[in-house]
Amino acid sequence: MPLLQLEGVSKRFGQVVVADAITFQLGQGDAVGIVGPNGAGKTSLFAMISGDISPDAGTISFAEMDLTRMSPAKRARAGVGRTYQVPRPFEHMTVFENTLLAAQQGAHTRGHESYDVAFGALERTGLATMANRPAGSLTLLHRKRLELARALSTSPKLLLLDEIAGGLTDLEVNELTSIIRSLRADGIAVLWIEHVVRALLSTVDRLVCLSGGVVVADGEPKEVLASEAVRFVYLGGKRLDEVAS
């Protein structure tokens, strides 16, 4: 039984199709990258998995639960942790309180146990020395780490990472990917949208390419990147239906 399963998931905003009958599976501990041009429907796909938006059709199941109409909070408690492309820290709370909230609400911990889970996530992401700082004072790198730490504090089975390496220097990207690899080694499944492809390639063992809300390639990362479908959506050339056929 896969950890995450999407069956015929579709979503449109007016005339714009962001997901067109997407069917997709991800197993326990898998690491899958998602690539695609801007407007391909990547973030919308994440929003449907995390519950920020509801699909028009199709079903989403996770750990043998039907998530399709479940609230984002319940999904987080069920084990779906996510980060946002533009970090969303609780700016007037300290770094520690950001992860403490997630440990208490997402992971159902209390008292000292919640403190330990929250601080453990900060140690894991290299933020322990900043625990008492207001989250609003963090730099972009540290905000991205806090996104990860907060998602980690919910004790997730699946992490949805939305362009977490975007806007960072090479060194910062390397630091972040090594953290993500270690989380994966602990058995946390990772679904990662990223434009920094080398970061993805160092971590994932499967790549999915989306375009116009359709999965145009799915498979081993190097094969996907070399496929005509992916070349088409990034570089143009043949018509999509020719590529698909």
- Chain residues binding another protein by CB under 8 A are 28, 50-52, 63, 65, 71-74, 76-79, 81-82, 84, 88-94, 96-97, 100-102, 104-108, 110, 112-113, 115-117, 119-121, 123-124, 128-133, 150-157, 186-188
- Of 25 and 28, CB closest to another protein: 28
Smallest gap from residue 16 Cβ to another protein (A): 21
Smallest gap from residue 86 Cβ to another protein (A): 11
The C-alpha R_g of the chain, in whole angstroms, comes to: 18
- For residue 94, the number of C-alpha atoms closer than 13 Å in the C-beta half-sphere is 13
- Of 41 and 106, CB closest to another protein: 106
Report the SS3 class of residue 92: coil
Smallest gap from residue 70 Cβ to another protein (A): 8
Q: Report how far residue 210's alpha carbon sits from residue 83's, in angstroms, rounded to the nearest whole number.
A: 19
Spatial neighbors of 95 by CB under 8 A, at least 6 apart, are 122, 127, 130, 131, 132, 133, 134, 135, 138, 146, 149
- Of 108 and 198, CB closest to another protein: 108
Shortest CA distance to 4 belongs to which of 65, 53, 74? 65
- Of 23 and 71, CB closest to another protein: 71
Smallest gap from residue 120 Cβ to another protein (A): 4
**DSSP per-residue codes, 113-151:** HHHHHHHHHHHHTT-GGGTTSBGGG--HHHHHHHHHHHH
- Of 136 and 219, CB closest to another protein: 136
Shortest CA distance to 9 belongs to which of 45, 34, 33, 39? 45
How many whole angstroms from its chain centre is CA 58? 20
- Of 35 and 151, CB closest to another protein: 151
Smallest gap from residue 41 Cβ to another protein (A): 19
Smallest gap from residue 216 Cβ to another protein (A): 28
- For residue 1, the number of C-alpha atoms closer than 13 Å in the C-beta half-sphere is 6
